[in-house]
Amino acid sequence: MSAAFDINDSGLVVGYSHTEGDRTFHAAIFRNGAVIDLGTLGGTMSRAWAVNNAGQVVGESELAGNAAWHAFLYTGGRMVDLGTLGGTSSSARDINDLGHVVGESQGPGDTGTRAFLFADGMMTDLGTLGGSMSTACGINNRGEIVGYSMIAADRSFHAFLYRHGAMIDLGTLGGTMSAAYRINERGTVIGESHISSDAAIHAFLYADGAMRDLKTLGGSTSAAGDVNAEGTVVGGSCLRDDSSSHAFLYGEREGMVDLGSVRGTVSRAYGINRAEQVVGISRTMRPSGEEGPSRAFLWSSRYK
């Protein structure tokens, strides 16, 4: 089993792969047909979520004894523990080209997770939209950060944009909840949101102060996973009659395009680079409805 979550502009892919015998999984780099095991912080499992254009990788790993997960930065051939905000566990979700890392961490007492920025050797709590928890999922080279946070009284969670020291509520597509996952250098934000009456979850694109519904591939739900420098979006969507779901690519001229699947019936895209190389996961659904083993995939228009 394997999974791919991000790709940089040089085509370096990161995610995780099961080790020999499928006993566990480790964070991995996929390069030129080879799978490079990044190891762990002393525990059994690890996974990588993002890579920047310098080849620095971030993710999460179990510590020795497997009692907790910590955010890591893999750089110079070494996995570095980024620590926590005072709690037990943390996870790193993205890294920009300046080496600034964002993610989530438990605080003292492990009462809830908080979005963090790790820069210059220090992990900083970014706060919330008034609720008890938050998670940072993406950061661009201007230092703008996106994620999701509980709002006042923990009534729901909303997508946020953090810039100039303030967390801004991006709202929803008319429903209760939303979450932002990535932001590009133009400030375009992508994610997912409930639509009116919470009837379904749809992928969104937020630009120029407005959240736009990207619709679906004909089914009821969709979610966006990444956006490149040109504003091309990737993610996953249910097909007509919701019998399956496929990875998609969304462009302003093309609309939402079905990318199909690889050795499976279900797929989802998580990362896209400037050259529109797309990475994600493909798997087969068993007759029982259970998910089969996942396979990392790389899609490019050159392969069509």
User: Within 13 Å and on the Cβ side, how many CA atoms surround 294?
Assistant: 18
DSSP assignment of 96-129, as one string? -TT--EEEEEE-GGG--EEEEEEETTEEEE---B
Residue-wise pLDDT tens digits, 142-197: 999 999 999 999 999 999 999 999 999 999 999 999 999 999 999 999 999 999 99
N residues, the chain: 304
Q: Using alpha carbons, select from 235, 231, 232 the residue that is nearest to residue 215.
A: 235
What pLDDT is stored for residue 289 in this prediction?
Answer: 63
Percent of the chain past pLDDT 70, that is, above it, reads 96
pLDDT-based confidence at residue 303 (cuts at 50, 70, 90): low
Residue-wise pLDDT tens digits, 259-297: 998 877 899 999 999 999 999 999 886 666 676 788 999
Residue 109 pLDDT > 60: yes
| Residue 226 exposed, middle or buried by CB count within 10 Å (0-12, 13-18, 19+) | buried
Residue-wise pLDDT tens digits, 195-253: 999 999 999 999 999 999 999 999 999 999 999 999 999 999 999 989 899 999 999 99
Task: Find how far residue 68's CA is from the centre of its chain.
Answer: 21
Torsion angles phi and psi, residue 198, rounded to 5: 55, 35
> Which tokens is 278 given?
């797309």
- Give the separation between CA 240 and CA 144, rounded to whole angstroms: 36
